[in-house]
Chains A and B, each alone.
Chain A
Amino acid sequence: MSPDAYLSLASILFAIGAAGVLLRRNAIIAFMSIELMLNAANLAFVTAARAWGNLDGQVVAFFVMVVAAAEVVVGLAIIMTIFRSRQSTSVDETSLLRW
Chain B
Amino acid sequence: MTTTLLLLVLLAPALGAAVLLLGGRRTNAWGPLAAIGVMGAATAGALALFGAMLTRPAAERPVGVLLYEWLAVGDLRVPFGLYLDQLSMSFVLLITIVGTLIHVYSLGYMAHDPDRRLFFGYLNLFVAAMLLLVLADNYLLLYVGWEGVGLASYLLIGFYRRRASAATAAKKAFLINRVGDFGLSVAIMVMFTMIGAVTFSAVDAGIVAMPGWVPLVLGLLLLLAAAGKSAQFPLQAWLFDAMEGPTPVSALIHAATMVTAGVYLIVRSAAIYDLSETARTAVIVVGGISILFGAIVGSARDDIKKALAGSTMSQIGYMVLAAGLGPIGYVFAIFHLLTHGFFKANLFLGAGSVMHGMNDEVNMRRYGGLAWVMRLTFITFLIGYLAIIGVPPFAGFYSKDSIIEAALAHSWTAGIVAWLGAGLTAMYMTRMVMMTFLTKRRWQPDAHPHESPPVMIIPMALLALGSAVLGYLLVMNDAFEHWLEPVTGFVHEDPPLAMPIVYGITFGVVGLGVLIGVLANLHPAAEAPTRVNPLVRAARADLYGDAINEGLFMRPGQVLTAATVITDRRIVDGAVMAVADLSTGAGDQLRRVENGFVRSYSLALVAGAVIVLAALLLLRIA
Contact = CB atoms under 8 A, between A and B. Distances in A.
A98 interface: yes
A1 interface: no
Contacts of A18: 606
Nearest to A92: B597
B446 interface: no
Contacts of A95: 595-598
Interface residues of B, number: 11
Interface in A63-99: 91-92, 94-99
Given A22-B602, A22-B603, A99-B595, 13 more contacts: A18-B606, A21-B599, A21-B606, A91-B599, A92-B597, A95-B596, A95-B598, A96-B596, A97-B596, A98-B596, A98-B597, A99-B591, A99-B596
B113 interface: no
Give 3 closest A-B pairs by Cβ, nearest first.
A98-B596, A95-B596, A99-B591
A99 B587 CA distance: 11
Contact of B606 (A22, A91, A94, A99): A22
Interface string B590-611: 0110111111001100100000
Contacts of B598: 91, 94-95, 97
A22 to B, nearest CB: 5
Nearest to A97: B596
Contacts of A96: 596
B611 to A, nearest CB: 14
Interface string B563-603: 00000000000000000000000000001101111110011
8 contacts: A91-B598, A92-B599, A97-B596, A97-B598, A98-B595, A98-B596, A98-B597, A99-B595
A21 B596 contact: no
A78 to B, nearest CB: 13
A50 interface: no
A21 B597 CA distance: 12
Interface residues of A, number: 13
A90 to B, nearest CB: 10
A44 B382 CA distance: 127
B312 to A, nearest CB: 74
Interface of B: 591-592, 594-599, 602-603, 606
Contacts of A92: 597, 599
B142 to A, nearest CB: 67
Contacts of B597: 91-92, 95, 98
A99 B602 CA distance: 17
Contacts of A25: 599
Nearest to A19: B606
A98 B596 CA distance: 4
Interface secondary structure of B, over-half rule: helix
B73 to A, nearest CB: 58
A50 B599 CA distance: 36
Interface of A: 18, 21-23, 25, 91-92, 94-99
A98 B590 CA distance: 12
A18 B591 CA distance: 25
A97 B599 CA distance: 12
A82 to B, nearest CB: 12
Judged by DSSP, the binding face of A is loop
A3 B525 CA distance: 128
B344 to A, nearest CB: 79
A65 B599 CA distance: 25
Nearest to A24: B599
Contacts of A99: 591-592, 594-596
Contacts of B594: 97-99
A22 B602 CA distance: 7
A55 B84 CA distance: 117
Nearest to A99: B591
A18 B603 CA distance: 9
Contacts of B592: 99
Contacts of A97: 594, 596, 598
A11 to B, nearest CB: 11
A82 B379 CA distance: 109
Contacts of B596: 95-99
A91 B598 CA distance: 7
A18 B592 CA distance: 23
Contacts of B603: 22
A73 to B, nearest CB: 21
Nearest to A27: B598
Nearest to B588: A99
Nearest to A91: B598
Nearest to A21: B602
B33 to A, nearest CB: 76
A96 B598 CA distance: 10
A92 B595 CA distance: 10
Contacts of B591: 99
A96 B594 CA distance: 10
A22 B595 contact: no
B25 to A, nearest CB: 63
A91 B603 CA distance: 14
A21 B607 CA distance: 13
Nearest to A95: B596
Nearest to B610: A18
Identify the interface centre among A18, A95, A97, A99: most chain B CB within 10 Å of its CB.
A99
A23 B597 CA distance: 12
A99 B595 CA distance: 7
A82 B596 CA distance: 16
A96 B606 CA distance: 22
B604 to A, nearest CB: 10
B588 to A, nearest CB: 9
B608 to A, nearest CB: 12
A25 B422 CA distance: 107
Contacts of B606: 18, 21-22
A23 B602 CA distance: 10
Contacts of A22: 599, 602-603, 606
Contacts of A98: 594-597
A95 B595 CA distance: 7
A75 to B, nearest CB: 13
B507 to A, nearest CB: 97
